[in-house]
Amino acid sequence: MELNLNDKITVITGAASGIGRASAMEFASLGATVVVSDIDAQGAEATVGQIRQKGGTAVAVAADVMAQEQVAALINTAVERFGRLDVLFNNAGGAQPEPTHEMSPAEFRRVVELNLFSMFYGVHAALPVMMAQRSGTILSTTSGAGLGAVPGLAAYGAAKAGMIALTRNIAAEYGQYGIRANVISPGSMDTVGFRIWLDSLPGSDQDYFSQIPSGRLGTAEDIARVAAFLASDYSAYVNGVTVPVDGGIAGVLAIPRV
C-alpha cells in the first residue's frame, strides 16, 4: 500500500511559509484537500497558488490563531465547504528569545496564547466535528524547547510542553471516538531567522552542526513528511506521542568540550 492522504480534508495553520507551507504542499501532493490558513492572507494565497500549479486542491482562509472566534470560523468554514474535517494541524506559533527576568507578564501571556491557547482553540472547535464523525487526526508542532530547557525561551518552552501534555490528554480522552492526537518536535531548522541567530555566534556553522548527530540543520520538508505519515492511515495505531524530528539531538547528553 502506498502512503496517501486521498480525500482527507485538512486544515493547516501557519501555512503561509516554512513548515506550514511545506506541509500544505506535501499533503496536497498526497491527495489531501488543504485549507491553508495564516494571519498573512497574501502568503496563504501564495501557498494555495503553488499547490494548484502542481495539480493539488487547496483554499486559503485567513485567521489569527490567537483569536478564538477566528479559529472557530476557520474550522466551520472547512466543514461547511467540504462536509467534514479529517486532519487539523496546529502549526502556527513562535517566540523571540528573552531572559526570563526581563519578560513582562503580558509578554509571557502573549507567547503562551500564541502557542498553547491557539492549539486549544483549534482542538476545541475540531473535537465536536471529529466526535460526530468518529474519526479524525490532530497534529501539532511543538519544539525541542518543550522537551528540554533553552535559556531565554522559558515562556515558549512552557507553552510547548503544555502542548505535549494537552496532546496526551486528547489521545486518552478521545481515542474512543477514533480520534488520534500526536505532536512533532522539530530540532534546529534551516530558516532565515535561525541562520541570523547562528551567524551571531562565535565559531563556524560547522561547530554547531557537529553537535547534531545527523550533521545538518533540518528542513521544512523533513517535518512535512513526518506530518504526512502521522496524518495517514499508516499511523492508525500511533496516538498520544511526541515525535522528535531533530537529527538525533534529543537523544544526546551534553558532553564537555576539550
Q: For the chain, which residues make up each domain, given as ranges?
A: 9-187+216-244
Using pLDDT thresholds of 50, 70 and 90, give the confidence band for residue 254. low
Chain centroid to CA 133: 23
Mean pLDDT of 109-130: 97
Pick left, alpha or beta for residue 31 (phi over 0 → left; psi -120 to 50 → alpha; otherwise beta): left
Fold of 9-187+216-244: Rossmann fold (3.40.50)
Chain centroid to CA 232: 16
Mean pLDDT of 190-212: 78
- The length of the chain in residues reads 258
Give this prediction's pTM: 0.93
Using pLDDT thresholds of 50, 70 and 90, give the confidence band for residue 257. low
User: Does residue 208 carry a pLDDT above 70?
Assistant: yes
The reply to whether 237 belongs to the active site is no
pLDDT tens across 147-186, in order?
Answer: 888 888 899 999 999 999 999 999 999 999 999 999 999 9
All cell numbers assigned to 75: 474550522
The DSSP result for 39-88, as a single string, is S-HHHHHHHHHHHHHTT-EEEEEE--TT-HHHHHHHHHHHHHHHS---EE
Pick the catalytic residue: 156, 174, 177, 208? 156
Percent with pLDDT over 90 in the chain: 78
